[in-house]
Amino acid sequence: MKIFSFLNRASRLLHDSPACSKLVVLCTLSGGGFVAYSESQSDGFAIPNINQSECKKKRVVVLGTGWAATSFLKDLDVSSYDVQVVSPRNYFAFTPLLPSVTCGTVEARSIVEPVRNIIKKRNGEIQFWEAECLKIDAANKKVFCRSNFEYSFVGNLEFSLEYDYLVVAVGAQVNTFNTPGVLESCHFLKELEDAQKIRRSVIDCFERAVLPGLSEEERKTSLHFVIVGGGPTGVEFAAELHDFIQEDIVKIYPMVKDLVKITVIQSGDHILNTFDERISSFAEQKFTRDGIEVKTGCRVVSITNKEITMTIKSTGEDCSVPHGLVVWSAGIGTRPVIRNLMEQVGQGKRRVLATDEWLRVKGCEGMYGLGDCATIDQRKIMEDIAAIFEAADKDKSGTLTVEEFQDVMEDIIINYPQMELYLKNMHLSGCADLLKDPEGNDRKEVNIEQFKLALSHVDSQIKSLPATAQVAAQQGTYLSRCFNHREMCKDCPEGSRSFRGSGHHQFLPFRYKHFGQFAPLGGEQAAAELPGDWVSMGHSTQWLWYSVYASKQVSWRTRVLVVSDWTRRFIFGRDSSRI
Amino acid sequence: MKIFSFLNRASRLLHDSPACSKLVVLCTLSGGGFVAYSESQSDGFAIPNINQSECKKKRVVVLGTGWAATSFLKDLDVSSYDVQVVSPRNYFAFTPLLPSVTCGTVEARSIVEPVRNIIKKRNGEIQFWEAECLKIDAANKKVFCRSNFEYSFVGNLEFSLEYDYLVVAVGAQVNTFNTPGVLESCHFLKELEDAQKIRRSVIDCFERAVLPGLSEEERKTSLHFVIVGGGPTGVEFAAELHDFIQEDIVKIYPMVKDLVKITVIQSGDHILNTFDERISSFAEQKFTRDGIEVKTGCRVVSITNKEITMTIKSTGEDCSVPHGLVVWSAGIGTRPVIRNLMEQVGQGKRRVLATDEWLRVKGCEGMYGLGDCATIDQRKIMEDIAAIFEAADKDKSGTLTVEEFQDVMEDIIINYPQMELYLKNMHLSGCADLLKDPEGNDRKEVNIEQFKLALSHVDSQIKSLPATAQVAAQQGTYLSRCFNHREMCKDCPEGSRSFRGSGHHQFLPFRYKHFGQFAPLGGEQAAAELPGDWVSMGHSTQWLWYSVYASKQVSWRTRVLVVSDWTRRFIFGRDSSRI
């Protein structure tokens, strides 16, 4: 029983020290070793606030268990809130590894963590219901939910919850752009089930291609894999698929190895067009070397379960190609429950749910929108220009001196982050530069019309945030901080001066900090955009990718599982059983 | 790149040495260690037979990729056969670990090995088609198959194959005994998909039970898990479920931990009634201590998705209990394709496909039945008694002396294994004892009538083999040996003397060697029946179980995966994400 008690002790050790800040995971598995340098995030669980415990707790309902919701819940101080979480999935999934799941590089279970595990240290103060939110009633502060269980059921599965604060973090759904046949004939890559389905279907394509009695043409069609969308997800899937086929599949289906073809269809001129262009062209070159066809400037017009039809933008011609499997990763759209909410709150004409810079949904009180389901509608400097001028013009002279402008500049930069970008991109060093006349001469002071003219191009720098895990996670953390400091900041607001109203904003607005992004390209190579406009490409970047992705796992359990999956893949290859 | 090349080398080492006969797998995973002593089976791949390479190869079609088919394929000498394998599953599953998969003690992928991996060393001489055999045409030696792919399809998915020899190893299906509602409302535990479904449904039951607005009674109903059938599968599942709930689930669903109930319904008087009665009562006692209710002597008469109705045999009364989930593991039945075959070959009135002792399907030539889909119809000694007497009576005197009987005894024991069992169970030492007169006096010789009387009870010892992996695997190995020695044994038969015909049988008949069986009972305890009527129970038996099950894995890959799953369970517990 010695081994048993050793394991128990090891288990307790790992459970009890979630915040060892740096640790070397040395994982030796049957002769294979892999070293992951992992920087653990501090769990930062709530510090109970004793003074508040007697007030009536506000009811917080959180919709979703993705990146935004989970990072909100992780840091929330539950001593002042009654928290209820509603999601059709009782787990958090580490979505950046979804493309790896499609080919079995990582197993589906290795990237999920049950929500109840994440919240269980809160002594039951956070409640979770596995249900889908069907409708948000913003006027009455209520949400209507329904559980959806596969088998026999007991009791009523519908219920409603009342809230004081609602955190909407339900994510997005696939956007088909109304292309005919997409829903019926394509695979997607949004949910874990999608990745598992793709994995089965890839094996199906090979099993089908080797069946007796098929023509060479039919075998080729069955092995033509098409990816629509050249963004990071599509490109990573193409790379994973290529690796899977070359490293594992050809060994067991050698008879059809020359018939395989992978095509990436991109409507823009380049794949990975949100990345630095060096990365984009590196990826295109690597794909060409690997035999992955990249069709740029092509717009898909329809898909059947036999062929895909697209328009070549340059010539306007249509062409059709037969396929064995299509993965659609062309963009994200709004979920019906959010669409309905938008109509209730007067946002019916918008494309995405709009929030202000404090993540509050515009047009309704006590509701927050995070992650992919919402976007920050950054206020424009030109809309507030008169108020800014008035606030800055302390001596009410009708003109603004450089010094007066200087005094409000800090608040402007906080409230209108486009100003900082504008200064940087225009290579302006400060207020004096901004207020120069059109010929470039210094001006001591400006009137309102001159001020408007000087700032007229600042709003062109407004950028909406990308729909990434990184943004969602930062928003969740930001919002939990606001919730935790709500009482404190009521009396001493921490935000900047409000130009439109009087006094100060209660909180600082949300600011996104970009830590860079990765694009794994297959063959143990990756490309990365790092902070400070650094670009890194090649094998070493892949190892950086391994380290970062291992360290960013939400729990020690998933970290160990992901690393052991990678190790297993190195030693034994990927599994091709169709389950 | 040092780590990479190390891994590559390690990988190659593991690929190239499948027959290292004994090895200690030391798997250290983040502070948790587990030692598995594993006795690897020798892979025994075919030795090419150069002399035969010029003959026309016989076509062998194998139906199935379970225990019987896989062990047949592993040892088959493909130099003299063209082999085609047809199965709807492109993998072999280590079915004895299915109950562990239902609760996530072991992952589904850890117990499967792609068939193509198992056969790939044969240089493409074995072909595999992922398809279901729909019909066997015994008269024309043809099988009709159909592939069943989920998504878009290419070409014709139906095909037929001609064979010279057909190996039928399709396994069995669930037997509902025509109980109403079983197919609609029960889970089963035959296939990997079944185990995965049960896992999701168990989590569903808990998620449903904690929903707001349910009555205590509804919560209790949702958490009532019923297992129909107290055989090894049902008992192991009950034990796994109990462990899962007590060790992992109650920690994250603490609010409902007192409402959980597990019930095992058994129609016989005891659970595990194929085991030694010490094991059976040990299991019952352990279950009682664990709070698992065992209802013996109850026959289930109907099931709906709300309740299960049964008749208590002793009183004849009916009673109904509400349930949250029912797992039906009450027995196995014949698949439709086998039922159809049986009608073709004149076995329409039998319950199971019958083969002779050489595993040849009775009533048709060139066809073999292995594993759960067939049973050996042992020939009776009394049917051949006249022929045996005639063959033994060398001097044609009309009487048989002890010596004459002695001369044929060896052949009798080989052809009629019930004779050996009879001698052993009756405590008879040999022929002289057998031929004693009814008063117990020695006889020098006997006539035919006396001989018949002396052997009249021998056939009562005929036992049909259990439908286990062990039997199926031994049958596969036996049959591959027959196939490999077919040419050699044509000239010099290795079998015993044929009493009915003349000469010798070409091969020795199949003889099953029982290596014992395990029944894991939860809480790190197991019971085992070992060869030589040994019985072992408790914690040490569980460790023996771990060692045996690790060593019996079909590949090094699955061995490492299963052991690391066990380790992971010790350290992190089982995952409760509903995927």
Reported ipTM: the value is 0.85
DSSP A178: T
Instruction: Compute the distance between CA of residue B122 and CA of residue A252 in angstroms, rounded to an integer.
Output: 11
Range with lowest mean pLDDT among A122-131, B5-14, B349-358: B5-14
pLDDT tens-place string over residues A445-498: 888 898 898 888 899 888 889 999 999 999 999 999 999 998 888 888 888 888
Mark yes or no for CB contact A112/B252 under 8 Å: no
Task: Answer yes or no: do A252 and B120 touch at CB < 8 A.
Answer: yes
Chain A hits for B155, Cβ within 8 Å: 211, 213-215, 218, 222
Q: Which two tokens stand for residue B308?
A: 């299960």
Q: How confident is the model at residue A482, as a pLDDT?
A: 94
Q: What pLDDT was estimated at residue A153?
A: 57
Q: Could you report the per-residue pLDDT of A226-246, keeping only the tens digit for each? A: 999 999 999 999 999 999 999
CATH of domain B385-461: 1.10.238
Angle at B255 between CA B252 and CA B257, to 5 degrees: 80
Q: Which of A33, A130, A201 has its CB closest to that of B3?
A: A33
Mean confidence (pLDDT) of chain B: 86
Structure confidence at residue B148 as a pLDDT band (50, 70, 90): confident
Is residue B286 within 8 Å of residue B521, measured between CB atoms? yes
Secondary-structure breakdown of chain B: helix, strand, coil percentages, each rounded to the nearest 5: 40, 25, 35
- Write out the E strands in A100-181: 112-114, 126-130, 132-137, 142-146, 158-162, 165-168, 173-174
Mutate to test the interface with B, among A30, A111, A305 (most CBs of B within 10 A): A30
Residue B156 banded pLDDT, cuts 50, 70, 90 = low
Q: Is the pLDDT of residue B142 over 90?
A: yes
CB B95 within 8 A of CB B66: yes
The CATH number of the structural domain formed by A45-88+131-172+334-378+464-513 is: 3.50.50.100
Helices (H) and strands (E) counted in chain A, each on its own, are 20, 28
> CA-CA distance, A118 to A120, in Å (whole number)?
6
**B577:A114 CB<8 A:** yes
For tokens 């205590």, the residue is: B216
Q: Are residues B198 and B105 in contact, defined by beta-carbon separation less than 8 angstroms?
A: no
pLDDT of residue B1: 41
Q: Give the distance from residue A433's alpha carbon to the nearest chain B alpha carbon, in angstroms.
A: 51
Domains A45-88+131-172+334-378+464-513 and A182-333+516-572 share a fold: yes
Per-domain residue ranges for chain B? 182-333+516-572, 385-461
State the best of B6, B65, B211, B304 to mutate against chain A, taking most chain A CBs within 10 Å: B211
Question: Does the pLDDT at position A24 exceed 50?
Answer: no
pLDDT for position A28: 32
* B10: pLDDT strictly greater than 60: no
pLDDT tens digits for range B300-324 = 999 998 899 999 999 999 999 999 9
Say whether A114 and B568 touch across the interface (CB within 8 A).
Answer: no
DSSP letter string, B39-50: EPPP--PPPP-G
Average pLDDT rounded to a whole number, residues B364-390: 92
CB count in 10 Å sphere of residue A490: 9
3-state secondary structure of B109: helix
Determine the Cα–Cα distance for residues A223 and A202; give it in Å rounded to an integer: 9
Residue A14 scores a pLDDT above 90? no
Task: Tell me which amino acid residue A151 is.
Answer: Y
Q: How far is A406 from chain B (nearest CA, A)?
A: 54
The per-residue pLDDT for range B259-278, each reduced to its tens digit, is 999 999 999 999 998 899 99
pLDDT in tens, A281-320: 999 999 999 999 999 999 999 999 889 999 999 999 999 9
Chain A hits for B3, CB-CB cut-off 8 Å, are 33-35
Q: Is A397 helix (H, G, I), strand (E, B) or coil?
A: coil
Using an 8 Å Cβ cutoff, are B205 and B221 in contact?
A: no
Nearest chain A CA: its distance from B474 CA (Å): 24
pLDDT at residue A202, rounded to an integer: 94
Give residues with Cβ within 8 angstroms of A488, minimum separation 6.
Answer: none
**Minimal Cα distance from A576: which residue of B?**
B114
Are residues A7 and B570, on separate chains, in Cβ contact within 8 Å? yes
Q: Which of A149, A155, A322 has the CB atom closest to B204's CB atom? A: A149
- Tens of pLDDT, residue by residue over A70-120, are 999 998 988 889 999 999 999 999 999 999 999 999 999 999 999 998 887
Question: How far apart (Å, rounded) are the C-alpha atoms in residues A228 and A323?
Answer: 12
pLDDT for the residue numbered A39: 32
Residue B132: per-residue pLDDT: 93
At residue B475, does pLDDT exceed 90?
yes
**Cβ(A348)–Cβ(A334) under 8 Å?**
no
Chain B residues lying within 8 Å of A212, measured CB to CB: 129, 159, 161
Q: pLDDT band at B353, cuts 50/70/90?
A: very high
The tokens describing A550, both together, are: 């291992």
Sheet holding B318-322, edge to edge: B298-303, B307-312, B318-322
Report whether A455 contacts A381 (CB < 8 A). Answer: yes
Percent share of chain B, pLDDT over 90:
60
Q: Which residue has the higher pLDDT, A151 or A414?
A: A414
Residue B212 pLDDT: 87
- Structure token digits, residue A107: 């197993």
pLDDT tens-place string over residues B333-348: 999 999 999 999 999 9
Residues B83-100 have pLDDT tens digits of 999 999 999 999 999 999
Whole-angstrom distance, CA of residue A504 vs CA of residue A499: 9
- Between CA B87 and CA A4 the distance in angstroms is 41
For chain A, percent of residues with pLDDT exceeding 70: 89
* pLDDT averaged over every residue in chain A: 86
pLDDT of B222: 92
To the nearest whole percent, how much of chain A has pLDDT over 90? 61
CB contact under 8 A, A33 and B578: no
Stretch A394-419: mean pLDDT = 88
**Are A151 and B201 inside 8 Å of each other by CB?**
yes
For residues B100-111, average pLDDT: 94
Q: State pLDDT tens for residues B25-66.
A: 333 333 333 333 233 333 322 223 334 444 578 999 999 999
Q: Of B571 and B430, which is predicted with more confidence? A: B571
Predicted local confidence at residue B4, as pLDDT: 45
Q: Distance (Å, rounded) from C-alpha A332 to C-alpha A330? A: 7
Lowest pLDDT segment from A39-48, B68-77, B237-246: A39-48
- Evaluate whether the domain defined by B182-333+516-572 bears CATH number 3.50.50.100: yes
* Geometric angle at alpha carbon A46, from A40 and A52, rounded to 5°: 170
